[in-house]
Amino acid sequence: MNHAAAKMALQFYLDHGVDEALLDEAQDRTVLREVPKPSIEAKRAGPPLPQSPASDMVVGKSERRDEAVKLAKAAQTIDALRDAVASFDGVTIKKTATNLVFCDGNPDARVMVIGEAPGADEDRQGKPFVGVTGQLLDRILKCINLGRDEEDVAQAVYMSNILNWRPPGNRTPSLAEIELSLPFIERHIQLVQPDLLIFCGGVSAKSLLGSTESISRLRKRWHDYTPQTPELTKNAKPISAIVTYHPEYLLKTPAQKRSVWADMLEIQKKLKELS
């Protein structure tokens, strides 16, 4: 047996979110199986009612949302908010994630970058935007003299995500998961008080701007961000926000790097204006 090849195969599966065996033996999916005919009782009962997808399995969603808002509003510091997110059990993906992915960078930074959800690398390290995706984002930000490791607040960046737990298999977050996570990220923004927000990807942009427009339409212009959570809107001041493509998308579509470079130049220009 080639142990090195087997190890590489296992690592490949882990990197792509395949981290759980459902059966003890492999199943041959190429074998045709006979579909059982419905019983007379089933025919009389009519078609089954549509079931909610597994991604939306959130127990008592309205009650859980109220709890999320209560916990978020009570947090008066970033550390307190981290503890609140860690203690909140309303989102089921917490059970399948390895680590809480809360933030990285300088909390005093003028610029805050927000993605959608942690991936496999982020889940392992407990930090947003790491691995190949994070390295690309760091290089992009460095081109306009910004970085997560900068101590100078004028050049520093702070990072987080809409969701703080990795969805299984790196799937797109469900609407229910976003709704329950929104109070926490919006309170996070309020505690950091950045001068400028960068929304990476469509999920981040649509959720925090309350928009249904595509990312291509949301790009190329500045937005005034205000909280989408009604309970957090009191005394909230608009923050300049720009939408750009997620670095993971750029890895798959390198031709869009030119568009992101244009976004970076707009950010550089805006920071000078705000100074």
Give the CATH number for residue 249. 3.40.470.10
Query: What global pTM score does this model have?
Result: 0.79
- Please report the sign of the dihedral spanned by the C-alpha atoms of residue 94, residue 96, residue 98, residue 102: negative
What φ, ψ does residue 215 adopt, rounded to 5°? -65, -30
Question: Is 254 inside any structural domain?
Answer: yes
DSSP conformation class of 41: H
E strand map for the chain: 104-105, 111-115, 157-161, 196-200, 223-225, 239-244
> Domain range for residue 172?
59-274
Q: What angle do CA 179, 182, 187 make, to 5 degrees?
A: 155
Of 250, 215, 14, 242, nearest to 132 by C-alpha is 250
Return the pLDDT at 52. Answer: 40
Question: Is 168 inside any structural domain?
Answer: yes
Mean pLDDT score of the chain: 87
Question: Is 249 inside any structural domain?
Answer: yes
Q: Is 105 within 8 Å of 160 (Cβ atoms)?
A: no
Question: Is 34 inside any structural domain?
Answer: no
Return the pLDDT at 275. Answer: 84
Q: Kindly state the percentage of the chain with pLDDT values over 70.
A: 78
Question: Is 16 inside any structural domain?
Answer: no
- At 61, is the pLDDT very low, low, confident or very high (cuts 50, 70, 90)? confident
What CA–CA distance (Å, rounded) separates 113 from 105?
A: 10
Question: Is 131 inside any structural domain?
Answer: yes
Residue pLDDT, tens place only, 177-206: 999 999 999 999 999 999 999 999 999 999
- At 45, is the pLDDT very low, low, confident or very high (cuts 50, 70, 90)? very low
Segment (H or E) for 134: helix 131-142
| Number of domains into which the chain is organized | 1
What CA–CA distance (Å, rounded) separates 112 from 267?
A: 12
Provide the 3-class DSSP secondary structure of residue 51. Answer: coil
